[in-house]
Amino acid sequence: MAKKNILVVEDNHAILDVITLILESEAFNVAGLNKGAEFFNRVESYKPDVIVMDIMLPDIDGRMLLKQIKETPATCHIPVLMISARYNENNYPLDNLHADGFMAKPFNIDELMDKVYALLK
């Protein structure tokens, strides 16, 4: 079975490194971005099977980037797992995000892996 590609968009370098280590330890290919503006250039060449993305990015609101992902024919089929440290039901109701999954920070390894594997099915 070919390794699956996961693209992680996270501006916090420490969190990006942790997520990358976790996913690589499960034999995934992982590419990381610190800015949302780089997303569409990278997604075309990397062809991710899943996207793990922070809501709070320095250059673009993750909700707006998610909207663009889901409205773009080349990326609308890719499952997106949103993550946020500032999540609560009032700020980010899941039905308004149209994400395929959501995870609040801090998260544990098992939760991350369960959600990623669920999105790959």
What CATH number has the domain bearing residue 94? 3.40.50.2300
Domain that holds residue 37: 5-120
Q: What's the Rg (C-alpha) of the chain?
A: 13
* pLDDT digits (tens), the chain, 121 positions: 679 999 999 999 999 999 999 999 999 999 999 988 889 889 989 999 999 999 888 898 888 899 999 999 999 999 999 998 876 555 555 555 678 998 888 889 999 999 999 999 9
Q: How many CA atoms lie within 13 A of 43 on its CB side?
A: 25
CA 108 vs CA 25, 75, 93, 100: distances in Å: 14, 28, 22, 19
Contact 37, 53 (CB under 8 A): no
If one counts the domains in the chain, the total is 1
CA distance 30 to 20: 6
